[in-house]
Amino acid sequence: MITRRIIPCLDVKDGKVVKGINFVGLKEVGDPVSLAEEYYAQGADELVFLDITATHEHRDTMVHIVEKTAERIFMPFTVGGGIRTVDDIRRILRAGADKVSLNSAAVRNPDLISQGAAMFGDQCIVLAVDGSMRNDQSGWNVVINGGRIDTGLDAIEWIREGVRRGAGEILLTSMDADGTKQGYDLPFLRAVRNAVSVPVIASGGCGNLEHFHEVFAEDAADAALAASLFHYGELTVGEVKQYLKERGVPVRV
């Protein structure tokens, strides 16, 4: 059986980790390098850093954070936010990241996926998709710019195109579930799983141990990402993994 991964997510703004609900109401929760070290010690399988208000000035901040983090932890980590060019991808990978997450920039320039995959390999390219259910309940649209712009683009079709272009993994965030702690968006995740064969990371909505178990028991994702649960000390990565192991989910303990 494939080992399931537990991935803390650090949303970074101006060099600090923040967290909100439905992408708004952001509160500062800590230093990204210190939190990365803590999650490494807890046994996280990977980390995700998202520079949520990235500009070129913030990009310099994130490169510095990536360099400091790479010196202190020894597990894969993904960096996203404000990555607009192949040079940006190169800069982040050289700083020590293992993968880059492409979101809004890939929607505006899908060739960025193709170019990044061709130059650095599919395994380095994570297509991050923020999606929201359409008002008529007919499916999900891609939302960009930190949840501010509904593109009208069908999320499932966009994910298919991203994988065709070379994305090696999908980081799927449900805007409807994000920060609510009501559980992962299983219908959205299942739709993506049925559409593509690359690994899928579930993001948005996890509120308790059972939500982690549910997403894996339903085979709705290969990995589960969470933020506030870990940041506020409600759960540790170790507690999550022990719970999953006791329920027959294959995890690395």
Instruction: Calculate the CA dihedral of residues 65, 68, 73, 76 and round it to 10 degrees.
Output: 50
User: Please, which pLDDT band fits residue 30 given cuts at 50, 70 and 90?
Assistant: confident
pTM to 2 decimals? 0.93
45, 51, 88, 130: the catalytic one is: 130
CB 166 within 8 A of CB 207: no
11, 45, 178, 185: the catalytic one is: 11
CB 230 within 8 A of CB 203: no
Write out pLDDT tens, residues 152-185: 999 999 999 999 999 999 999 999 998 788 999 9
Q: Map out the domains of the chain with their CATH numbers.
A: 5-246 (3.20.20.70)
Give the C-alpha separation, 15 to 30, whole Å: 9
Give the pLDDT score at 26: 58
Q: What value does the mean pLDDT take over residues 70-94?
A: 95
Q: Could you count the other beta carbons within 10 Å of the beta carbon of residue 247?
A: 13
Radius of gyration of the chain from Cα atoms? 17
CB 236 within 8 A of CB 230: yes
Give the C-alpha separation, 48 to 183, whole Å: 19
CB 131 within 8 A of CB 143: yes
- CA of 137: how far to CAs of 133, 140, 141, in Å? 6, 8, 10
Strands 223-226 and 5-13: parallel
Mean pLDDT of the chain: 92
Q: Which amino acid is at 79?
A: V
Write out pLDDT tens, residues 111-144: 999 999 999 999 999 999 999 999 999 999 999 9
Long-range (24+ apart) CB contacts under 8 A made by 119-123 are 119/86, 119/89, 119/90, 120/89, 120/90, 120/93, 121/168, 122/166, 122/167, 122/168, 123/99, 123/168, 123/169
Give the C-alpha separation, 21 to 178, whole Å: 6
As given in the structure block, the two tokens for residue 21 are 């609900």
pLDDT of 62 higher than 90: no
Catalytic site residue 136?
Answer: no
Report the candidate in 96, 168, 188 with the shortest Cα–Cα distance to residue 125: 168
Alpha-carbon 117 to chain mean position: 18
Catalytic site residue 88?
Answer: no
Report the candidate in 116, 67, 58, 73 with the shortest Cα–Cα distance to residue 92: 67
